Chain A
Protein backbone atom coordinates (compact mmCIF):
# COMPACT_ATOMS: atom_id res chain seq x y z
CA UNK A 1 0.00 0.00 0.00
CA UNK A 2 1.44 3.38 -0.98
CA UNK A 3 2.00 5.79 1.88
CA UNK A 4 1.32 9.50 1.97
CA UNK A 5 3.16 11.10 -0.94
CA UNK A 6 4.20 14.73 -1.13
CA UNK A 7 5.60 16.76 -3.99
CA UNK A 8 7.91 18.37 -4.65
CA UNK A 9 10.48 17.17 -2.10
CA UNK A 10 12.35 20.46 -2.29
CA UNK A 11 11.21 23.91 -3.39
CA UNK A 12 13.18 27.13 -3.57
CA UNK A 13 11.25 30.38 -3.96
CA UNK A 14 12.00 34.06 -3.81
CA UNK A 15 10.43 36.30 -1.17
CA UNK A 16 7.04 37.56 -2.38
CA UNK A 17 6.39 34.61 -4.69
CA UNK A 18 3.76 31.92 -4.24
CA UNK A 19 4.39 28.27 -3.44
CA UNK A 20 2.14 25.28 -4.10
CA UNK A 21 2.69 22.02 -2.27
CA UNK A 22 0.83 18.80 -3.04
CA UNK A 23 -0.19 15.77 -1.03
CA UNK A 24 -1.77 12.42 -1.88
CA UNK A 25 -3.21 10.56 1.14
CA UNK A 26 -3.26 6.84 1.71
CA UNK A 27 -6.01 5.19 -0.30
CA UNK A 28 -9.25 5.30 1.70
CA UNK A 29 -8.15 8.14 3.93
CA UNK A 30 -10.41 11.17 3.58
CA UNK A 31 -8.80 13.43 6.19
CA UNK A 32 -5.69 15.37 5.26
CA UNK A 33 -3.68 17.50 7.68
CA UNK A 34 -0.91 20.02 7.04
CA UNK A 35 1.83 20.87 9.54
CA UNK A 36 4.79 23.24 9.43
CA UNK A 37 8.07 22.16 11.02
CA UNK A 38 10.34 25.18 11.26
CA UNK A 39 13.73 25.07 12.92
CA UNK A 40 13.41 25.64 16.63
CA UNK A 41 9.61 25.83 16.58
CA UNK A 42 8.55 22.19 16.39
CA UNK A 43 5.53 20.99 14.44
CA UNK A 44 2.73 23.54 14.16
CA UNK A 45 -0.78 22.66 12.96
CA UNK A 46 -1.76 24.47 9.76
CA UNK A 47 -4.93 23.00 8.25
CA UNK A 48 -7.27 20.03 8.35
CA UNK A 49 -9.42 18.98 5.40
CA UNK A 50 -12.05 16.27 5.36
CA UNK A 51 -14.47 15.39 2.56
CA UNK A 52 -13.40 18.46 0.62
CA UNK A 53 -14.09 20.91 3.44
CA UNK A 54 -11.71 22.88 5.66
CA UNK A 55 -12.53 21.64 9.18
CA UNK A 56 -9.99 23.55 11.26
CA UNK A 57 -6.99 25.82 10.83
CA UNK A 58 -4.11 26.81 13.07
CA UNK A 59 -2.80 30.24 13.99
CA UNK A 60 -1.38 31.13 10.60
CA UNK A 61 -2.16 34.18 8.44
CA UNK A 62 -4.69 33.92 5.57
CA UNK A 63 -1.89 33.77 3.00
CA UNK A 64 -1.64 30.11 4.02
CA UNK A 65 -4.53 28.39 2.31
CA UNK A 66 -5.36 25.12 0.65
CA UNK A 67 -7.97 22.86 -0.74
CA UNK A 68 -8.92 19.22 -0.99
CA UNK A 69 -9.93 17.66 -4.27
CA UNK A 70 -12.67 15.06 -4.91
CA UNK A 71 -10.03 12.31 -4.92
CA UNK A 72 -8.99 13.52 -1.40
CA UNK A 73 -5.59 14.77 -2.51
CA UNK A 74 -4.74 18.19 -1.20
CA UNK A 75 -2.84 21.32 -2.07
CA UNK A 76 -1.27 23.89 0.27
CA UNK A 77 -0.72 27.37 -1.12
CA UNK A 78 1.47 29.95 0.51
CA UNK A 79 1.17 33.45 -0.97
CA UNK A 80 3.50 36.41 -0.58
CA UNK A 81 6.30 34.23 0.74
CA UNK A 82 8.40 35.53 3.62
CA UNK A 83 11.83 34.35 4.72
CA UNK A 84 10.36 32.86 7.91
CA UNK A 85 8.13 30.56 5.82
CA UNK A 86 11.22 28.44 5.18
CA UNK A 87 10.42 25.10 6.79
CA UNK A 88 9.57 21.46 6.25
CA UNK A 89 5.87 21.18 5.38
CA UNK A 90 4.38 17.85 6.36
CA UNK A 91 1.15 16.32 5.17
CA UNK A 92 -0.60 13.52 7.06
CA UNK A 93 -3.75 11.51 6.49
CA UNK A 94 -6.17 9.39 8.49
CA UNK A 95 -9.45 7.57 8.12
CA UNK A 96 -12.47 9.79 8.91
CA UNK A 97 -12.79 10.42 12.63
CA UNK A 98 -9.69 8.39 13.49
CA UNK A 99 -7.09 11.13 13.70
CA UNK A 100 -7.27 10.74 17.46
CA UNK A 101 -5.64 7.32 17.02
CA UNK A 102 -2.72 8.59 14.99
CA UNK A 103 -1.68 9.90 11.62
CA UNK A 104 0.44 8.65 8.75
CA UNK A 105 2.83 11.38 7.68
CA UNK A 106 4.51 11.93 4.34
CA UNK A 107 8.20 12.76 4.04
CA UNK A 108 7.50 16.45 3.57
CA UNK A 109 8.35 19.29 1.24
CA UNK A 110 11.37 21.37 2.20
CA UNK A 111 10.53 24.98 1.28
CA UNK A 112 13.34 27.47 1.19
CA UNK A 113 12.56 31.16 0.72
CA UNK A 114 15.48 33.33 -0.40
Chain B
Protein backbone atom coordinates (compact mmCIF):
# COMPACT_ATOMS: atom_id res chain seq x y z
CA UNK B 1 0.00 0.00 0.00
CA UNK B 2 1.37 3.39 -0.99
CA UNK B 3 1.28 6.15 1.63
CA UNK B 4 1.96 9.86 1.29
CA UNK B 5 2.75 11.78 4.47
CA UNK B 6 1.92 15.47 4.17
CA UNK B 7 3.05 18.06 6.70
CA UNK B 8 2.22 20.25 8.39
CA UNK B 9 -1.52 19.54 8.77
CA UNK B 10 -2.27 23.12 9.80
CA UNK B 11 -0.43 26.34 9.03
CA UNK B 12 -1.48 29.76 10.28
CA UNK B 13 0.72 32.64 9.17
CA UNK B 14 0.71 36.39 8.61
CA UNK B 15 0.49 38.00 5.19
CA UNK B 16 3.94 38.36 3.64
CA UNK B 17 5.50 35.32 5.33
CA UNK B 18 6.96 32.37 3.44
CA UNK B 19 5.95 28.74 3.97
CA UNK B 20 6.76 25.23 2.82
CA UNK B 21 4.54 22.15 2.70
CA UNK B 22 6.13 18.71 2.44
CA UNK B 23 4.98 15.38 1.05
CA UNK B 24 7.05 12.28 1.73
CA UNK B 25 6.72 8.62 0.85
CA UNK B 26 8.75 5.44 0.71
CA UNK B 27 7.13 4.67 -2.66
CA UNK B 28 8.11 5.86 -6.11
CA UNK B 29 5.45 7.73 -8.05
CA UNK B 30 5.01 8.35 -11.78
CA UNK B 31 4.17 11.95 -10.96
CA UNK B 32 3.34 14.17 -8.03
CA UNK B 33 0.33 16.43 -8.34
CA UNK B 34 -0.63 19.39 -6.16
CA UNK B 35 -4.25 20.44 -5.76
CA UNK B 36 -6.06 23.19 -3.92
CA UNK B 37 -9.55 22.60 -2.58
CA UNK B 38 -12.08 25.19 -1.45
CA UNK B 39 -14.94 24.28 0.92
CA UNK B 40 -17.79 22.52 -0.91
CA UNK B 41 -15.79 22.15 -4.11
CA UNK B 42 -13.62 19.49 -5.72
CA UNK B 43 -9.82 19.79 -5.78
CA UNK B 44 -8.36 21.97 -8.53
CA UNK B 45 -5.03 20.95 -10.08
CA UNK B 46 -2.25 23.47 -9.50
CA UNK B 47 0.72 21.66 -11.02
CA UNK B 48 2.12 18.24 -11.93
CA UNK B 49 5.79 17.33 -11.59
CA UNK B 50 6.98 14.26 -13.46
CA UNK B 51 10.77 14.17 -13.63
CA UNK B 52 12.96 13.53 -10.59
CA UNK B 53 14.54 16.83 -9.47
CA UNK B 54 12.02 18.88 -11.44
CA UNK B 55 11.18 22.37 -10.22
CA UNK B 56 8.12 24.29 -11.42
CA UNK B 57 7.09 27.82 -10.59
CA UNK B 58 3.60 29.24 -10.65
CA UNK B 59 3.83 32.94 -9.72
CA UNK B 60 4.70 32.89 -5.98
CA UNK B 61 4.40 29.08 -5.72
CA UNK B 62 7.41 26.81 -6.28
CA UNK B 63 6.97 23.04 -6.57
CA UNK B 64 9.79 20.53 -6.38
CA UNK B 65 9.92 16.77 -7.05
CA UNK B 66 12.59 14.79 -5.24
CA UNK B 67 15.38 13.17 -7.22
CA UNK B 68 14.07 9.69 -6.37
CA UNK B 69 10.46 10.67 -7.17
CA UNK B 70 9.33 9.80 -3.65
CA UNK B 71 8.81 13.26 -2.19
CA UNK B 72 7.77 16.78 -3.10
CA UNK B 73 7.48 20.23 -1.62
CA UNK B 74 5.39 23.33 -2.18
CA UNK B 75 6.91 26.67 -1.24
CA UNK B 76 4.86 29.86 -1.16
CA UNK B 77 6.66 33.18 -1.10
CA UNK B 78 5.08 36.26 0.46
CA UNK B 79 1.76 34.54 1.26
CA UNK B 80 -1.45 36.49 0.74
CA UNK B 81 -4.91 36.03 2.28
CA UNK B 82 -6.08 34.72 -1.11
CA UNK B 83 -3.75 31.74 -0.65
CA UNK B 84 -5.92 30.49 2.22
CA UNK B 85 -7.26 27.01 1.54
CA UNK B 86 -6.65 23.26 1.68
CA UNK B 87 -3.59 22.09 -0.23
CA UNK B 88 -3.33 18.44 -1.24
CA UNK B 89 -0.46 16.48 -2.71
CA UNK B 90 -1.19 13.31 -4.67
CA UNK B 91 1.10 10.69 -6.12
CA UNK B 92 0.22 8.85 -9.33
CA UNK B 93 0.80 5.10 -9.13
CA UNK B 94 3.83 3.75 -10.95
CA UNK B 95 2.27 0.48 -12.03
CA UNK B 96 0.76 -2.82 -10.97
CA UNK B 97 -2.16 -2.44 -8.59
CA UNK B 98 -1.32 1.27 -8.25
CA UNK B 99 -1.89 2.01 -11.93
CA UNK B 100 -4.46 4.73 -12.56
CA UNK B 101 -4.73 5.53 -8.88
CA UNK B 102 -3.82 8.69 -7.00
CA UNK B 103 -2.62 8.41 -3.41
CA UNK B 104 -3.44 11.61 -1.57
CA UNK B 105 -1.72 13.17 1.40
CA UNK B 106 -3.88 14.19 4.36
CA UNK B 107 -3.79 17.83 3.28
CA UNK B 108 -2.54 21.11 4.73
CA UNK B 109 -5.03 23.72 5.84
CA UNK B 110 -3.37 27.08 5.25
CA UNK B 111 -4.71 30.28 6.81
CA UNK B 112 -3.07 33.57 5.88
CA UNK B 113 -4.05 36.47 8.13
CA UNK B 114 -4.08 40.04 6.75
Give A contacts to B, CB under 8 Å.
Answer: 4, 31, 33, 35, 42-45, 48, 50, 55-56, 58-59, 90, 92, 99-108
Assess the A101–B102 pair: CB atoms within 8 A: no
**Which residue of chain A is the closest to B40 with respect to CB atoms?**
A107
Assess the A102–B45 pair: CB atoms within 8 A: yes
B65 an interface residue at 8 Å Cβ cutoff? no
CB distance from A51 to the nearest CB of B (A): 12
Give B contacts to A, CB under 8 Å.
Answer: 1, 30-31, 33, 35, 40-45, 48, 50, 88, 90, 92, 97, 99-107
CB distance from B7 to the nearest CB of A (A): 13
Which residues of B lie under 8 Å from residue A99 when comparing CB positions? 92, 100, 102
A56 to B45, CA, bound (A): 22
Most chain B CB within a 10 A radius of its CB, from A4, A92, A101, A102: A102
CB distance from A53 to the nearest CB of B (A): 11
**Which residue of chain A is the closest to B43 with respect to CB atoms?**
A105
Which residues of B lie under 8 Å from residue A50 when comparing CB positions? 100
A48-B100, A105-B43, A107-B42 known; A43 and B92 CB under 8 Å? no
